[in-house]
Amino acid sequence: MRNRRRSFVVGAVGLAAGLLLTACSSSSDSSSGSDDSAAATGGSFSMAIEKPQALTPTNCYDLYCAQVNRTLFEGLIEFQKSSEGALEPVKTDLAKDITTADDGKTWKIEINPGFSFTNGEAVTAQTFVDTWNYAAYGDNGQQLGFVMGPDQLNIVGYDQVASNKSKKMSGLNVESDSVLTVELEKPMGQSLFYNFLGGPQVLPLPSTAIKDPKAYEKQPIGNGPYKLEAPWTNQGMTVVRNDDFAGEAGNADEIEFKIYADNNALWADLQANELDVASTLPQNALVQAESVLGDRFINDEGGLQYAYYGYPVNDPTFKEKDVRVGLAKAINWDEINDKIYFNTRTTATSFAPDTIPGGGKDVCGDSCVFDGAKAKELIDGAGGVPGGAVLIPQLANETGDVQKAICNQIQTNTGVKCTPQIYKDFGELVGAVTGDKATKGLIYGLGWIADNPTIQNMITANFSSTSPYNDLGYDNPEFDRLLQEGNAATDTATQIEKWQQAEKVIYDDFRAWATQFRNNIGGYSTRVSNVDISPDGIVDLSVVQVNS
């Protein structure tokens, strides 16, 4: 999972793998389709994706699989934008009620009757219990079974099942056809529990998926608004509307997912109107995308991904806080965003964008405000950067534009020598800060893609002292305490407040700071309307209309 759940989004416009939630962007607030009286339903359109690693939900951890599964499946929770614009987990048509009677230790999930898989099998309480047990069972080798376990849902009996000692988690019980109960090891607040139920990994599987996983993977059978009528291939797949779907039906009759290995080909097809929807664009299209596509260019702020820079704790180069703050203040992110990213990113002042409940605040304050003169003053006041030089990491497959620009600004404003340091891959970069021979003077940089829209998810992996992903070696008991208090809080407001306080601790130490949020970039053809990319990067295809 290590490589999947975070990406090096500092420089790369690279494609994010690892988004674990599927969202419903409900009311699309961009392209309004009110004035076109074109046929609201019917027709077919195409969307570009990259080849998913797998389509079976319990193995689905890339964005493209999540995108396809949004049309094939109906889960218990989906994400909708609240009135403040933040993504919040809400029940789907399938879920009637999800409640707890004992402050989050035991949960009762009641589902609406009438939903069935496209092979006729009904979706019942038993379906979910079977699916989750199947996912957790070690020998089944389902990549996302860990979601049932520690630090995630943490269902009672997970360890027994994961270690193949039992086939059933004792915490999962079927009360009736429509009711199941879930017992957790530790109490969990409603918001967090709902968030965990929003991912594709907990979608229901028909019994045939458990009996013959290989055949199922070729042509998954779901319970959603669309269905797959033929096995999917390396070229893509076509889904057609499921007329028996009990929830809200999709608009188009047919959606074709085209697999592109090369984003430049995608961009060419989009310009030629041969591709209808794209939720990514190649780097070299950014400079001209707006002038070519006009209103059909999507550039939405609030993507659930941040890039950050940090100072490895063990590196004496960054012992002085004034040096750390000074280097940060020497970089003009607004200008980098304008000239290098062509305004497809948003300068960050916290680790959570405003699409996350409690996010979008200015937690960083003055330290994140660009001021070249002050930067030099701080660094000189602290006796300069030991060694007089810093390095900015760059992965071999990146263009290096950003790293160059950052270095140029550090050099211009502070006189500290700065060079991009190229690493072959992600593993080599992590090794450069965590190994015994850690590189001195390296300003570590990585990105994070949210698994779910909570502040907790944005800060835990990179900064919790117990996290295996904490490469900086950040260790502040105060931070850990606040984070844990937030996780345990059952009241959503208290929870968010604790997490915000924990976030503030990172900025007060200034060991790391979020630099930018990645906007969701895409575009669509003249053939379709009502296309919107949700903050998690997924397009709600059910609402897309094909113009007549």
Partner 1 sequence: MSDLQVEAQSAQAAGPESRTVAADAWYQLRRNWVFWVSVVLIVGISAIVLFPGLFASEEATTSLTGGCQLEDSLEAPGDKFLLGADQQGCDVYSLSIYSARTSVSVGLLTAIGTTLIGSLLGLLAGFYGGKSDSVLSGVTSIFLGLPFVLGAVVLLSSVDLPDIWGVVFALTLLSWATAFRLVRAKTIEAKGQDYTLAARALGAKDLRIMFRHILPNAIGPSIVVAVISLGIFIGAEATLSYLGLGIQPPNTSWGVMISEAQNAFFTAPWVLMVPAGFLTVTVLAFILLGETVSDALDPKLRK
Given the DSSP bridges, would you call strands 95-100 and 106-111 parallel, antiparallel or unpaired? Answer: antiparallel
Q: Does 396 bind partner 1 (CB under 8 A)?
A: yes
Q: 137 to 176, contacts with partner 1 by CB under 8 A?
A: none
Q: Does 415 bind partner 1 (CB under 8 A)?
A: yes
DSSP label at residue 333: H
Q: Greatest CA separation found in the chain? A: 73
Q: Does 51 bind partner 1 (CB under 8 A)?
A: no
Least separation in angstroms between residue 336's CB and partner 1 is 7
Cα atoms in the Cβ-side hemisphere of radius 13 Å centred on 193: 26
Contact 174, 125 (CB under 8 A): yes
From candidates 165, 186, 319, 339, binder to partner 1 by CB under 8 A: 339
Contact 91, 167 (CB under 8 A): no
- Which residues lie closer than 8 Å to 252 by C-beta, 6 or more apart? 41, 42, 43, 44, 45, 241, 541, 544, 545, 546
Least separation in angstroms between residue 131's CB and partner 1 is 43
Q: Does 293 bind partner 1 (CB under 8 A)?
A: no
Nearer to partner 1 (CB atom), residue 2 or residue 424: 424
Nearer to partner 1 (CB atom), residue 398 or residue 532: 398
From candidates 422, 430, 438, 488, binder to partner 1 by CB under 8 A: 422
- Which residues lie closer than 8 Å to 330 by C-beta, 6 or more apart? 370, 372, 375, 376, 379, 409, 410, 413, 414, 416
> From residue 43, how far is each of 49, 236, 295, 486 by CA, in Å?
20, 19, 22, 47
Nearer to partner 1 (CB atom), residue 292 or residue 493: 292
Total residues contacting partner 1 by CB under 8 A comes to 26
Q: Compute the distance between CA of residue 477 and CA of residue 457 in angstroms, rounded to an integer.
A: 18
- Number of Cβ atoms within 10 Å of the Cβ of 258: 20
Q: Does 392 bind partner 1 (CB under 8 A)?
A: no
Q: Does 294 bind partner 1 (CB under 8 A)?
A: no
Q: Does 335 bind partner 1 (CB under 8 A)?
A: yes
Nearer to partner 1 (CB atom), residue 228 or residue 407: 407
Q: Compute the distance between CA of residue 454 and CA of residue 499 in angstroms, rounded to an integer.
A: 9
Q: Does 332 bind partner 1 (CB under 8 A)?
A: yes
Nearer to partner 1 (CB atom), residue 390 or residue 543: 390
Nearer to partner 1 (CB atom), residue 99 or residue 288: 288
From candidates 30, 233, 284, 314, binder to partner 1 by CB under 8 A: 284
Q: Compute the distance between CA of residue 193 and CA of residue 154 in angstroms, rounded to an integer.
A: 10
> From residue 238, how far is each of 66, 81, 228, 506 by CA, in Å?
15, 28, 6, 46
Tell me the one-letter amino acid at 398.
E
Q: Select the span of 168-176, 250-258, 280-288, 491-499 touching partner 1 (CB under 8 A).
A: 280-288
Q: Select the span of 179-187, 221-229, 411-419, 473-481 touching partner 1 (CB under 8 A).
A: 411-419
Nearer to partner 1 (CB atom), residue 288 or residue 465: 288
Q: Does 425 bind partner 1 (CB under 8 A)?
A: no
List interacting residues with partner 1 (CB under 8 A).
283-284, 286-288, 332, 335-336, 339-340, 396, 399-401, 404-405, 407-409, 411-412, 415, 417, 419-420, 422
